[in-house]
Amino acid sequence: MVTIRLRRRLRRFLGRLLAAALAALVVGVATWLVVHWLYPWPYRGEVEAAARAQGLSPYVVAAVIRAESGFRPQSVSHRGARGLMQVMPQTGLWAAEQMGLGKITPEQLEEPPLSIRIGTWYLAQLEREFGSVPPALAAYNAGRSNVERWLSQGVWDGSQEDLDRIPFPETRRFVAKVLRDAVWYERIYGR
């Protein structure tokens, strides 16, 4: 009698344990799928290589691409910015010359490897100029001269903690979104 009761208890226990393990597996897989759907990373190899070459965080570059184009290479903004990193044609032509790539066409900015390479180079230039990521991101979105003016006039101190003082709402949202998403990219894809 004791062994029959013990066997039944053991079977129930193992059944519950198996059910719990299966439920945890399903939740884990579902979570992984949702997280990777929300934070995709196409072109990861190109992003990591370009970021490494420019001394940038690949997570910040991925977050910029997510914010700018949603990883759609043929994306063109209402202002004419093109490609994954939404580089303005004039900026792209200037950057390509500076990088020694020669003359490019605006349409070439829609080619993922070139968009990533030029956009990452430009973002790195802005980070070197402004000394940190938040003002570089603000300049990437609103333009160098605006950020220079905000900093020189004391409108914004350039810090992440002071983002609410950025005068342009679009730029304020862009910088906050990229910084937040970069943290998520690192959590999800970091080593």
- Print the SS3 string covering 83-132: CCCCECHHHHHHHHHHCCCCCCCHHHHHCHHHHHHHHHHHHHHHHHHHCC
Establish whether 68 is a catalytic residue.
yes
**What is the reported pTM?**
0.84
Task: Indicate whether 20 pLDDT > 90.
Answer: no
CA 44 to CA 63: how far, in whole Å?
Answer: 12
Task: Indicate whether 2 pLDDT > 90.
Answer: no
Find the catalytic residue in 68, 148, 161, 186. 68
Largest CA distance in the chain: 88
Nearest to 92 by CA among 119, 60, 120: 119
Q: What does the CA dihedral 107, 112, 118, 122 come to, rounded to 10 degrees?
A: 110
Contact predicate 138/162, CB 8 Å: no
End-to-end CA gap in the chain: 54
For 149-174, how does the pLDDT look when each residue is reduced to its tens digit (9 = 90+)? 999 999 999 999 999 999 999 999 99
Rounded (10°) angle between helices 133-142 and 112-130: 120
For 93-132, how does the pLDDT look when each residue is reduced to its tens digit (9 = 90+)? 999 999 999 999 999 999 999 999 999 999 999 999 999 9
Section 78-106 average pLDDT: 97
Which position has the token pair 């370009």? 50
Residue 15 pLDDT: 76
CA 66 to CA 173: how far, in whole Å?
Answer: 14
Task: Indicate whether 11 pLDDT > 90.
Answer: no
3-state secondary structure of 76: strand
pLDDT band at 1 (very low <50, low <70, confident <90, very high): low
For 24-69, how does the pLDDT look when each residue is reduced to its tens digit (9 = 90+)? 565 555 555 556 678 999 999 999 999 999 999 999 999 999 999 9
Residue 37 pLDDT: 75
Dihedral sign (CA 83, 185, 59, 41): negative
Residue 124 pLDDT: 98
Residue 63 pLDDT: 98
CA 79 to CA 69: how far, in whole Å?
Answer: 13
